[in-house]
Amino acid sequence: MAKILVTGGTGYIGSHTVVELQNSGHEVVIIDNLSNSNIEVLNGIEKISGIRPAFENIDCVDYVSMDKMFEKHQNIKAIIHFAASKAVGESVQKPLAYYRNNLVSLINLLQLMPIHHIENIVFSSSCTVYGQPDQLPVTENAPIKPALSPYGNTKQIGEEIIRDTIHANPNHYQSIILRYFNPIGAHPTAEIGELPNGIPNNLLPFVTQTAIGLRKQLQVFGNNYNTPDGSAVRDYIHVVDLAKAHVLAVERMLMNKTKNTVEIFNLGTGRGLSVLEIINTFEKVTGVKVPYRIVDRREGDIEKVWAEPGYANSELGWVAHETVEETLRSAWAWELKLAEKGKHE
């Protein structure tokens, strides 16, 4: 039982992680500036776990407010740092906003941690750091490739900032860096899920919004990749599976089970699925058609990537359990819930 700070805790992955932390008996403090999430998420969390987490509307970029927050919420044992901007295309348009938001927030946390006697931080990274890997499935030891967007670069630089900081102060910090593959789906209760702002960039929200009639047609970006059906391949992972890995990561640090002051884990299923496979499976499990057409490749897209999750399986004791069928069903149940609540008007 420990008090955990979750930055970005009302966001998509953050909210699912808060629920899993609570289910494991931990006390959660959320900070979020609600720039890409909604305060009502707290109601969803409370409905699932029966506990309303402490919440502070703070921007992690604001050092003074963060310092005050740590004064107010004493005895935090670990931080899970989700809060970040994450739209790849937008990051190309607004690089400075991305570098400021994603890097200054991390630097603030790392500066404030020793002042407030906090040693442990989990960092949300991404398989984007591997670019197009030379070998698949990709392991944690694969080389880091030049980032294809400022967003991707903030994840690479974020990892380096953590490594350098801990190298200089190995007695004051430890960190687990989690490299996510493609999180999709929603909590099985459909009380929380992904809430994209405007037109979705990611595949799954676009699929569910097209299925429900909010969008006329899904565009499949490319069918001439070197993959079995020509569409791009990703490792799609249920967001609840992903959330559970964060609980294990925090507990691993708190119980001093880490082997290094910085550890890196891939969080994926080890299974690659193409865009067309996702569409077909979605149609099969929901019985709902998804109108789509093939268009040109999207700039900056990787052809294929999927994880070697063996290290997370053996060392973290974590395995992605959910089937893709169940995961897609949960995404659809969430879209239906949004419609029922009138969130589409």
Name the residues that contact ligand UFG, by CB under 6 A.
86, 88, 126-128, 152, 182, 201-203, 206, 218-221, 232, 234, 275, 298, 301
Three-state secondary-structure class, residue 15: helix
220 and 280 in contact (C-beta within 8 Å)? no
| Least gap, CB of 189 to ligand UFG (angstroms) | 23
Residue in the shown chain whose Cβ atom is closest to ligand UFG: 232
| Least gap, CB of 340 to ligand UFG (angstroms) | 24
**Does 99 qualify as catalytic in the annotation?**
no
Q: How many CB atoms lie within 10 A of CB 97?
A: 13
Written as six digits, the tokens of 247 are: 């609980």
| Least gap, CB of 244 to ligand UFG (angstroms) | 19
| Least gap, CB of 47 to ligand UFG (angstroms) | 27
Surface-to-core class of residue 161, CB atoms within 10 Å of its CB (0-12 exposed, 13-18 middle, 19+ buried): middle
- Rounded Cα distance, 319 and 267, in Å: 9
Q: What are the φ and ψ backbone dihedral angles of 87, each rounded to 5 degrees?
A: -90, 115
Smaller CB distance to ligand UFG: residue 115 or 199?
A: 199
DSSP state of 35: S
Smaller CB distance to ligand UFG: residue 53 or 205?
A: 205
Cis previous bond, 137, omega within 30: yes
Smaller CB distance to ligand UFG: residue 232 or 247?
A: 232
- Rounded Cα distance, 161 and 121, in Å: 13
Catalytic site residue from 12, 98, 130, 151:
151
- Rounded Cα distance, 84 and 178, in Å: 14
| Least gap, CB of 206 to ligand UFG (angstroms) | 4
Surface-to-core class of residue 171, CB atoms within 10 Å of its CB (0-12 exposed, 13-18 middle, 19+ buried): exposed
Residues catalogued as catalytic: 151
